[in-house]
Amino acid sequence: MSRVRLYFPPQKIKEYVSIQEKEILHKIKEVLRLNEGRPLFIFDGQGREYLYTLTEIRKESVEIRKIKLVREEPKPTTRIILAFPLMREAKLDLIFQKCTELGIFKFLPFFAQRSIIRTPPSQAKLLRWRKIVEEAVRQSNQLWFPEVEEVRDFEAVIKEKADLKVAAHPKGDLLFEMFKGGRYSQILIIIGPEGDFSHQELEKLKEHNFLFFRLSPNILRSETSAIFSVGLINYLSLL
């Protein structure tokens, strides 16, 4: 029997819940074809997961009852923030999905001087990004949602507070060297656009104490650099 896992916001976590959202009803009744008495695991995106049981299936709703809290975790001790330029939709979707699966604290999309996309995303697109993140958290068995910020300009992003600030660059140092000094509680990674950072942006990064790192002798696409960086820094943070 496969484990069924759903997301509810914290304010919806109650002893008895009547599920009426069409998307969730369709998944329970038509896709998963669950029966009464079936256990459900509900996580709130804020560090808790609960065991519920399906008590009744109605035409317009599904009724469930909370049994107990089954898992609770504090926020991760290492908070990774990823700043990346706007790019084509498929590439952004990949970044949100894979970086969430790997483990991330916050997404910071921004406008770079050489960004291909210059139009601010609509609210519908922001909601879509957050839906991708929700599904990735559910699939990867995590309990905390990463934050998805609205698009900022470059100047605002580089002022984000962090113990370690690193920027991907072909002529940078090895990331491993930067972790020899110990652990960091908050790490800001910034990735440039396909055409790389402009000279002005590189100078600004230096002014704000960013360290430059390289991932490969090969030239990587921005989305590859983003995913690789998050995975590698997560790994180095565990050593």
d(CA 96, CA 103): 11
pTM equals 0.92
| pLDDT category of residue 1 using cuts at 50, 70 and 90 | low
- 99-141 per-position pLDDT tens digit: 999 999 999 999 999 888 888 889 999 999 999 999 999 999 9
184 is written with which tokens?
A: 């960091």
| Per-residue pLDDT, 115 | 84
d(CA 17, CA 86): 39
| Per-residue pLDDT, 25 | 93
d(CA 222, CA 99): 13
Cβ-count burial 41-66 (b if 16+ within 10 Å, e if not): bbbbbebbbbebebeebeeeebebeb
| Per-residue pLDDT, 199 | 95
Average pLDDT of span 163-179: 89
Q: Is the dihedral of CA 171, 174, 179, 180 positive or negative?
A: negative
Average pLDDT of span 31-38: 92
* Residue 176: φ, ψ to 5°: -55, -40
Domain 79-238: CATH architecture, name and number where available: 3-Layer(aba) Sandwich (3.40)
Average pLDDT of span 180-204: 91
d(CA 107, CA 177): 25
| Same fold for the pair 5-72 and 79-238 | no
Contact 158, 117 (CB under 8 A): no
Domain boundaries along the sequence of the chain? 5-72, 79-238
Rounded to 5 degrees, what angle do the CA atoms 196, 197, 202 make? Answer: 140
d(CA 122, CA 107): 16
d(CA 100, CA 232): 14
Of 41, 46, 31, the residue nearest 64 (C-alpha): 41
Q: Tell me which of 212 and 3 has the higher pLDDT.
A: 212
Domain 5-72: CATH architecture, name and number where available: Beta Barrel (2.40)
